[in-house]
């Protein structure tokens, strides 16, 4: 089959975002996935200000002007920042329209290899697809990536879209993290309720283990969700949909290979929050621009992949990622009461600090300041524990990446 400029492998949010951005650069794009038009079933949430590259109002199902969190004690804290539930069909349609010139193909990629001035992707049904550049947007673990050296930390969650006998949180609100521990005294690790009033009597309720190594099993989360709702006198009267969630939080950074990884395949899931969709939308234009430039310069495929990789993971983003991975190690080292106290301190930080941390908008220096501010803010016993974890050999190994980020991308 004749070659194109770019072959995008994978049809999740990252694959379609990459295809749309490449089409905008007037590149010839082909997109390959086993079910390229299959609906995305995940309930994708995001902060509205992170969706500036798409018109947020056009791709969201519902927005909440403020967000609640409950960490320690009975009261909620209200965060002044708008949160949304993405309407997957609208987002896909919006990206599909932008990627209208893309040729969409059904198939599963098996391998990629150099073929002179092109790359050749072999599919499981024997097809060979040629392109000057290949984007691996196949999620984690990436189709063309190396296996992870050690088992990653996992975010797991069990959720329901349901009708309930009573509101689990105040009507009309959404709650990002409800750590109310009363139904689970002494239970490890800490998990929280992520909940949204979807209107018309429907709720989204999800018990979430932010990060654990090994993963918290989904059956444990289902039991905890039932317990939590029962403790509030809430019964489920109709289950409309179930969400079973498990994904790696600290997948290894991609190596520069023939294909350039993007999205969850490129470890773009935020290691301390688990969010990725908005980040894929944000980084796709830089990826596409670097491909346009490299193709115009008639570079060879390995040079093109290297330039594109640098656009996806510039040095500053690598430094920030290292700090996030350190933050993840701290979280993994805390027991349930300490986790709740930690988030209590985190959401008491000034808005710019915690927003910059969760949305990757702070510089490395600003992130370091935020982390120090947080350490100063938490109770003394917790401060000592956090510092002990942050100074452990494993954490220091992680932190050395801030100084030498290129070591991480060999
Ligand atoms: C249940 C759940 C809820 C989540 N909620 C959120 C959230 O609220 N907000 C957020 O920002 N993030 C969330 N995430 C994290 C992350 O953003 C998602 O995992 C997201 O789907 C990753 O997007 P992606 O396009 O990189 O990969 P995926 O969505 O995993 O898409 C991978 C694509 O590649 C295709 N593919 C795989 N192998 C091959 C192959 N060999 N050849 C061709 N195609 C292949 C697949 O069929 C699929 O089309 C959630 C994750 C899960 C699992």
**Residue range 352-361: mean pLDDT, rounded:** 96
Q: Would you say residue 350 has pLDDT above 70?
A: yes
Q: Would you say residue 52 has pLDDT above 80?
A: no
**Residue range 292-298: mean pLDDT, rounded:** 96
**Residue range 39-56: mean pLDDT, rounded:** 89
**Measured between alpha carbons, how far is 409 from 387 in angstroms, rounded to an integer?**
27
The response to whether residue 109 sits with its C-beta less than 6 Å from ligand 1 reads yes
**Measured between alpha carbons, how far is 357 from 282 in angstroms, rounded to an integer?**
16
pLDDT at 148: 75
The response to whether residue 137 sits with its C-beta less than 6 Å from ligand 1 reads yes
Q: Would you say residue 62 has pLDDT above 70?
A: yes
pLDDT band at residue 145 using 50, 70 and 90 as cut-offs: confident
Cis, peptide link before residue 115, omega less than 30° from 0: no
CA-proximal residue: ligand 1, atom 1 (nearest) = 245
The response to whether residue 264 sits with its C-beta less than 6 Å from ligand 1 reads yes
Q: Would you say residue 150 has pLDDT above 90?
A: no
Complete DSSP assignment for 264-324? GGGT-S-TTT---HHHHHHHHHHHHHHHHHHHHTT--HHHHHHHHHHHHS-HHHHHHHHHH
Residue with tokens 């600003």: 366
Cα-based distances in Å from 282 to 8, 13, 268: 17, 12, 11
Two structure tokens written together for 278: 């908005």
The response to whether residue 10 sits with its C-beta less than 6 Å from ligand 1 reads yes
**Residue range 18-35: mean pLDDT, rounded:** 98
The response to whether residue 194 sits with its C-beta less than 6 Å from ligand 1 reads no
Beta strands in 65-191 (DSSP E): 67-70, 77-79, 83-86, 103-106, 109-115, 118-123, 128-136, 154-164, 174-178
The response to whether residue 122 sits with its C-beta less than 6 Å from ligand 1 reads no
Average pLDDT along the chain: 93
pLDDT: is 326 or 390 the higher one? Answer: 326
The response to whether residue 145 sits with its C-beta less than 6 Å from ligand 1 reads no
DSSP letter (8 states) at residue 385 = H
Q: What topology is assigned to 154-248 in CATH? A: Alpha-Beta Plaits (3.30.70)
The response to whether residue 33 sits with its C-beta less than 6 Å from ligand 1 reads yes
| Ligand 1 closest atom vs CA 35 | 47
CA-proximal residue: ligand 1, atom 6 (nearest) = 44
CA-proximal residue: ligand 1, atom 7 (nearest) = 44
Name the phi and psi angles at 46, rounded to 5.
-165, 160
| Ligand 1 closest atom vs CA 245 | 1
131 - beta bridge partners? Answer: 4, 119
pLDDT band at residue 407 using 50, 70 and 90 as cut-offs: very low
pLDDT at 401: 56
Three-class DSSP category at 179? coil
Q: Would you say residue 408 has pLDDT above 80?
A: no
pLDDT at 400: 66
pLDDT tens across 227-277, in order?
Answer: 999 999 999 999 999 999 999 999 999 988 999 999 999 999 999 999 999
What does the buried/exposed string (b/e) look like for 266-277 if buried means 16 or more CB atoms within 10 Å of the residue's CB?
bbbbbbbbbbbb
**Domain boundaries of the chain, sorted by first residue:** 4-60+87-148+251-313, 154-248, 316-409
pLDDT tens across 85-143, in order?
Answer: 999 999 999 999 999 999 999 999 999 999 899 999 999 999 999 999 999 999 999 99
Cis, peptide link before residue 214, omega less than 30° from 0: yes
**Measured between alpha carbons, how far is 232 from 346 in angstroms, rounded to an integer?**
26
Cα-based distances in Å from 267 to 7, 118, 270, 375, 395: 20, 26, 8, 27, 19
pLDDT band at residue 410 using 50, 70 and 90 as cut-offs: very low
pLDDT: is 395 or 135 the higher one? Answer: 135
Q: How many CB atoms within 10 Å of residue 370?
A: 22
Question: Which runs of consecutive H residues, i.e. helices, occur in 141-180?
Answer: none
Give the right CATH number for 4-60+87-148+251-313 from 3.40.50.300, 3.40.50.10860, 3.90.1150.10, 3.50.50.60: 3.50.50.60
pLDDT at 149: 72
| Ligand 1 closest atom vs CA 123 | 42
pLDDT at 405: 45
The whole model's pTM is what?
0.95
pLDDT at 273: 95
The response to whether residue 16 sits with its C-beta less than 6 Å from ligand 1 reads no
The response to whether residue 356 sits with its C-beta less than 6 Å from ligand 1 reads no
Quick one: what percent of the chain has pLDDT higher than 90? 84
């Amino acid at each position: 089959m004749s070659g194109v400029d770019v072959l995008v492998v994978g049809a999740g949010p990252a694959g379609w975002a990459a295809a749309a951005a490449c089409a905008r650069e007037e590149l010839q794009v082909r997109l390959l996935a086993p079910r390229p038009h299959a609906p995305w079933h995940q309930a994708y949430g995001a902060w509205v200000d992170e969706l500036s590259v798409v018109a947020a109002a056009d791709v969201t199902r519902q927005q909440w002007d403020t967000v609640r969190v409950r960490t320690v004690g009975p009261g909620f804290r209200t965060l002044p920042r708008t949160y949304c539930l993405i309407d997957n069909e609208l987002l896909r349609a919006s990206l599909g329209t932008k990627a209208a010139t893309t040729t969409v193909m059904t198939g599963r990629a098996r391998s990629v290899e150099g073929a002179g001035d092109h790359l050749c992707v072999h599919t499981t049904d024997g097809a060979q697809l040629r392109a000057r550049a290949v984007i691996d947007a196949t999620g984690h673990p990436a189709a063309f990536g190396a296996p992870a050296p050690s088992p990653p930390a996992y975010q797991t969650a069990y959720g329901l879209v349901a009708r309930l006998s009573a509101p689990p949180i105040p009507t009309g609100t959404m709650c990002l993290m409800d750590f109310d521990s009363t139904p689970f005294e002494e239970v490890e690790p800490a998990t929280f309720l992520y909940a949204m009033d979807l209107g018309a009597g429907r709720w989204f309720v999800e018990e979430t283990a932010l990060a654990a190594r090994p993963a918290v099993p989904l059956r444990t989360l289902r039991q905890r969700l039932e317990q939590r709702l029962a403790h509030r006198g809430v019964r489920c009267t109709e289950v409309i949909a179930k969400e079973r969630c498990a994904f790696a939080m600290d997948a290894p950074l991609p190596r520069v290979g023939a294909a350039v990884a993007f999205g969850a395949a490129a470890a773009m899931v935020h290691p301390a929050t688990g969010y990725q969709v908005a980040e894929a939308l944000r980084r796709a234009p830089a990826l596409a621009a670097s491909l346009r430039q490299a193709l115009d310069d008639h570079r060879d495929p390995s040079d093109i992949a290297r330039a594109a990789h640098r656009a996806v993971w510039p040095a500053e983003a690598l430094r920030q990622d290292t700090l996030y991975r350190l933050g993840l190690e701290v979280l993994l080292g805390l027991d349930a009461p300490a986790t709740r106290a930690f988030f209590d301190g985190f959401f008491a930080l000034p808005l710019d600090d915690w927003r910059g941390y969760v949305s990757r908008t702070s510089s490395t220096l600003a992130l370091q300041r935020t982390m120090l501010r947080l350490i100063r803010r938490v109770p003394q016993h917790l401060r000592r524990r956090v510092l002990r974890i942050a100074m452990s050999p494993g954490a220091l190994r992680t932190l050395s990446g801030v100084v030498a980020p290129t070591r991480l991308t060999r």
